[in-house]
């Protein structure tokens, strides 16, 4: 079923942050930092994969994400929904179901045997594809997935994620230069604000996360 309405953006951001905190998908630890895929050290890590185990929360967030994309891009803007391997696959399936569209997924690299394909499922030339992922940091992995989609002759001008760290000002312009618009429900700042409001972590930890969000590379450099 395609949802037709949802709360305002500020409320969605707060509710998304609260849900991530409630299921303990938010990890803050300044003393033993996490390492992002890019190699960047950080006092925060958001594990959106946990959402698939919480039916009510994942349902609400997929309704939010579907409505956000349709509001921003249009109700008839897509012909196919693609998930990025691996974390994006379940969310793409859930969004595709809500949009009543075909679902595909994109491998990080060719599988090395058989058809040696990067696209699984049926994607055809000229289709307008929405790329769905769990989160984004600097947008780098999105560009690889978008290029793989475009190599089929399909179009990909939009990517949607649940969580966007929002720490690198160049991320959205970088995607835009590639012809891709980013849609998201909440940022690291929204999660930090909700964590402060509800006192989920001690002040010292929250202050360290804020310093990271303000200057991630400087924080990682010590």
Task: Give the integer Cα–Cα distance in Å for 148 and 208.
Answer: 38
CB atoms within 10 A of CB 203: 9
- The gap from C-alpha 114 to its chain's centroid, in whole angstroms, comes to 30
Give which of 123, 126, 124 is closest to 105, Cα–Cα: 123
- pLDDT score of 112: 63
What is the pTM for the complete model shown? 0.94
* Residue numbers of the chain with a pLDDT score lower than 50: none
Task: Give the integer Cα–Cα distance in Å for 60 and 55.
Answer: 9
Q: Assess if CATH 3.40.50.2020 describes domain 9-221.
A: yes
DSSP state letter for 134: S
- pLDDT score of 221: 85
- pLDDT score of 139: 86
- pLDDT score of 6: 75
- pLDDT score of 4: 64
Task: Give the integer Cα–Cα distance in Å for 166 and 171.
Answer: 8
Residues near 213 by Cβ (< 8 Å), separated by ≥ 6? Answer: 165, 166, 167, 188, 189, 192
Furthest-apart CA pair in the chain: how many Å?
Answer: 53
3-state helix, strand, coil split of the chain in percent (to 5) is 45, 20, 35
Which of 114-134 are b and which e, b meaning 16 or more Cβ less than 10 Å from the residue's Cβ?
A: eeeebbbbebeeebbbbbbbb
């Amino acid at each position: 079923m395609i949802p037709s309405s949802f709360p305002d953006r500020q409320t969605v951001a707060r509710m998304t942050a609260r849900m991530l905190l409630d299921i303990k998908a938010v990890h803050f630890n300044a003393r033993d930092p996490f390492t992002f895929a890019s190699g960047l050290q950080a006092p925060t890590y958001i594990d959106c994969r946990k959402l698939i185990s919480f039916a009510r929360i994942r349902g609400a967030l997929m309704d939010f994400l579907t409505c956000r994309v349709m509001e921003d891009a249009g109700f008839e803007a897509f012909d196919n929904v693609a998930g990025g391997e691996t974390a994006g696959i379940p969310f793409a399936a859930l969004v595709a179901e809500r949009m009543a569209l075909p679902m595909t997924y994109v491998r990080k690299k060719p599988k090395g045997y058989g058809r040696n394909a990067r696209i699984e499922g049926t994607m055809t030339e000229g289709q307008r594809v929405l790329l769905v992922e769990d989160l984004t940091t600097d947008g780098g992995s999105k560009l690889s997935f978008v290029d793989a989609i475009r190599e089929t002759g399909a179009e990909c001008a939009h990517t949607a994620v649940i969580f966007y760290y929002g720490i690198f000002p160049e991320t959205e312009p970088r995607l835009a230069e590639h012809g891709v618009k980013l849609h998201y429900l909440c940022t690291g700042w929204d999660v930090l604000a909700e964590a402060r409001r509800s006192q989920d972590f001690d002040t010292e930890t929250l202050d360290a996360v804020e310093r990271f969000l303000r200057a991630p590379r400087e924080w990682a450099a010590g």
